[in-house]
Structure 1
Amino acid sequence: MSAAGSRENLGPALLDRLPAELRKPTYDRAALQPGIAHIGVGAFHRCHQAEYTDDLLAKNFDRWGVVGINIRPPRLTETLDSQRCLYTRLIRQNDEVEARIIGSIVRVVDSQDSAEPALDVLASPEIEMVTLTVTEKGYCHIPASGALDLDHSDIVHDLANPEAPRSVPGILARALELRMASHGRPMTLLSCDNIPANGVILANVVRAIAERRGSGLADWIAANVAFPSGMVDRIAPATTAADLETVEKRFGYRDSAVVVGEQFRQWVIEKKFAGRVPRWDLVGASFVEDVTPFEHLKMRVLNAAQTTLCYLGVLGGFEHTFEAIADPLLATFVRRMLMEETLPTLMPVPGISPSAYVEQSLARLTNTAIHHRNHQIATDGSQKIVQRLLNPIRDRLAKGGSIALLSVPVAGWMAYLVKASSRFGNCWQVSDPFAARIAAIADATGADSKALAEAILATEAIFDPELAANAMFRAHVIAALDGLLSRDPMAFVRHVCAEPIDARLKQPARSA
């Protein structure tokens, strides 16, 4: 089928007529039975875990079809159901495009209005593995401690209404209770979100609810459920109209569920399973005893670079990551921050040179075909800065190292939310669980950088009190926030790159 042919919608009947250059499922999808449930069927899952599963089914066909579950927007049932859950995965590298049809998802369930559809899937004896990409805030935990946030509105609801839960922890706890009461089959719950020790965090929040349920549920979970940690990596920005048009014009069919990613992909999984497990290690994933060194490397280097570039990029007037890192000043700053202050905090990672990983990560961000918006990356920053920036800062302080550079993106996150407040002109819309709190602080304190920073640092859910009380950390953040809220924030970044921020700390703060 050529690009000049009729524009049919993607579906099973079209597969045999697609261009030969398009890789398609080589296994019998009609015989594929579900064995995996995935919560959070967004672009990243379809560009990462679903692709690994597609590879596995092609190599070693087994009962590992994926049932997707969405408990938050978007609603994908109509989109994917109309295509029998087939979709196109595009790989973009500058001017190059490579396309592939993924067939590992067999069904998608929308459970935004009621938990019942999700519970029916998760409690089914055929499901033995559950994977999750629900973003950091989906765990309803306190970022600074990792404990279940008992004041979270969804958790309050779920504890009062355990049979009709709203939250991810509540839904999982109820599904496990149903499994215990019916067939009792074991299950592995594998987090694929960017949270340090994400398996531990997932176990914490689910078990905290189970303990409050009683009826032996917590003990049953301890004996029958595994919570391995996992590290996932592939940059997968939001799909654009141009991506949909690329598929239609280049390959001659319509697909409303296209996803886009870079060439690089990685998946590291802790060897800690209950029952059967998909052998993703046969198709490029790594099963390891300890994920921690890998997750520290990724979060503190690649993710920290993304976080730094998104906030400084927005403040500098750049829309996308590739545009921000193309700026010589920001590229110099982020490279120096990673090389000088982040690398000394990393654990040794088998077979990986940390400095080479930095260069590889920064090179990935220069890909001009990946239009990752800085505002998209900035979403939910309060849930991300602990592991990406605050933890390495804490490690540096413990060893007496400089934090002059690492403190700047922390202040960048503050400035980003502060400038979205009415007091600072509502410069842009933001999406962050602490946005309203930061806006209230900005309205109350005005442009006094010291008062602003100190009030934000008092947010214990993000900044643990010991770190927030550290005089060096406070001074660096106050000075950086003062500079980034000035009329020329890039002049401040240039100053930091030219000389240590410590010299600036001796100067009086900018007046309001």
Structure 2
Amino acid sequence: MKMNAASIKNQKAEWEALGVKLPAFDHDAMTAKTKEHPVWVHFGAGNIFRGFIAALQQRLLNEGLQDRGIIAADTFDYDIIDKIYTPFDNLTMMVTLNPDGSTSREIIGSVAEGLRADSSDAAMMARFKEIFTDPGLQMISFTITEKGYALYRPDGSLMPVVQADIDEGPAHARHAMSMVAALLFERFQAGAAPLAVVSMDNCSHNGEKLQSSVMTVAKAWA
């Protein structure tokens, strides 16, 4: 039995017989509504995101407190999207080790879409622009590690990839902060609807690091 959207809908009894907890909401409806009217994009689609942030959103969906999920994006390791998200309809098997040594298993289905933030992929970038220009988008968040916000080398010069992004402009952004700056510019041009930009990384002054890096790139393009 493969973990996918069809099996959690049509083979519930088999999953439950294996002791696997399933999403308590209509996964297909959530996915469709999120894609049509996105509210949250998260950059950094790794284990921290899947095991904690996506799991918390699932709890809200299960309780009927939310009706839309998260769009996960990765700017660095595209294999996460291509090999972990897409083949399994963006579902994750979360296994928790309990204090008594037992394990509990739950399929996390709060991720509606997985995207590669790759400026060389025209289709992907068209989808990102569609999402970011939607005035209903409420938040973008990050778990990309402290290194993901870094723009400078130890000698104080810009990293080559960042310098290239600045030289080539928003359409060719590759660094995570350049990509975000480019997409925020798209949103600004489409009406400048408000948006929360939130770092969830466990590092000191995470929000300041995020703001500084995005603004550095944006000012260089001005």
TM-score over 0.5 for the pair? yes
Q: Aligned partners of 1:183 and 1:86: how far apart in 2?
A: 34
Change (3 A) 1:127 1:190: same
- Give matches, 1:160-179, under 5 Å: 160-162=167-169, 163-179=171-187
Q: Give the partner amino acid of 1:44.
A: I
Change (3 A) 1:177 1:26: same
1:267 counterpart residue number: none
Note the C-alpha offset of 1:179.
Answer: 0.6
Q: Give the partner amino acid of 1:97.
A: T
Aligned partner (choices 54, 58, 62) of residue 54 of structure 1: 58
Aligned partner (choices 37, 40, 44) of residue 44 of structure 2: 40
Specify the structure having the higher radius of gyration (Cα): 1
Note the C-alpha offset of 1:180.
Answer: 0.8
C-alpha offsets along residues 384-420 of structure 1, whole Å, 9 cap, x if unaligned? xxxxxxxxxxxxxxxxxxxxxxxxxxxxxxxxxxxxx
Note the C-alpha offset of 1:101.
Answer: 0.9
Change (3 A) 1:53 1:150: farther
2:106 counterpart residue number: 100
Change (3 A) 1:62 1:201: same
Q: Aligned partners of 1:172 and 1:58: how far apart in 2?
A: 30
Contact 2:140 2:196 (C-alpha < 8 Å) held by counterparts: yes
2:138 counterpart residue number: 128
**Within the alignment, does 1:10 sit opposite 2:18 as a pair?**
no
Note the C-alpha offset of 1:104.
Answer: 0.5
Note the C-alpha offset of 1:24.
Answer: 1.4
C-alpha offsets along residues 263-312 of structure 1, whole Å, 9 cap, x if unaligned? xxxxxxxxxxxxxxxxxxxxxxxxxxxxxxxxxxxxxxxxxxxxxxxxxx
1:19 counterpart residue number: 16
Greater fraction strand = 2
Change (3 A) 1:62 1:13: same
Q: Give the partner amino acid of 2:133.
A: S
C-alpha offsets along residues 68-110 of structure 1, whole Å, 9 cap, x if unaligned? 1112125123432222211210112473211111110011112
- Give matches, 1:296-335, under 5 Å: none
Q: Aligned partners of 1:79 and 1:202: how far apart in 2?
A: 27
Q: Give the partner amino acid of 1:31.
A: A
Q: Aligned partners of 2:157 and 2:197: how far apart in 1?
A: 22
**Within the alignment, does 1:81 sit opposite 2:86 as a pair?**
yes
Q: Aligned partners of 2:130 and 2:114: how far apart in 1?
A: 10
**Within the alignment, does 1:111 sit opposite 2:108 as a pair?**
no
**Within the alignment, does 1:30 sit opposite 2:38 as a pair?**
no
Q: Give the partner amino acid of 1:84.
A: D
Note the C-alpha offset of 1:114.
Answer: 2.6
Note the C-alpha offset of 1:121.
Answer: 5.6
Contact 1:140 1:167 (C-alpha < 8 Å) held by counterparts: no
RMSD across aligned C-alpha pairs, in angstroms? Answer: 2.3
Contact 1:115 1:165 (C-alpha < 8 Å) held by counterparts: no
Note the C-alpha offset of 1:212.
Answer: 2.2
Contact 2:119 2:173 (C-alpha < 8 Å) held by counterparts: no
Bigger RCO (CA 8 Å, 6+ sep): 2
Q: Aligned partners of 1:69 and 1:135: how far apart in 2?
A: 14
2:207 counterpart residue number: 199
Q: Give ranges in structure 2 of 5+ residues lacking alignment.
A: none
Contact 1:115 1:171 (C-alpha < 8 Å) held by counterparts: no
Q: Give the partner amino acid of 1:132.
A: F
Q: Give the partner amino acid of 2:102.
A: E
Q: Give the partner amino acid of 1:25.
A: P
Change (3 A) 1:130 1:211: same
Taking every aligned residue pair, what percent have the same amino acid on both sides?
20
The alignment partner of 1:190 has SS state of strand
Note the C-alpha offset of 1:143.
Answer: 9.8
Change (3 A) 1:135 1:114: farther
1:419 counterpart residue number: none
Contact 2:151 2:158 (C-alpha < 8 Å) held by counterparts: no
Q: Aligned partners of 1:113 and 1:209: how far apart in 2?
A: 16
The alignment partner of 2:186 has SS state of helix
TM-score, scaled relative to structure 2: 0.81
Q: Aligned partners of 2:195 and 2:159: how far apart in 1?
A: 27
Q: Give the partner amino acid of 2:5.
A: P
Contact 1:27 1:61 (C-alpha < 8 Å) held by counterparts: no
1:294 counterpart residue number: none
Contact 1:37 1:121 (C-alpha < 8 Å) held by counterparts: no
2:191 counterpart residue number: 183
Note the C-alpha offset of 1:60.
Answer: 3.2
Q: How many corresponding residue pairs?
A: 203
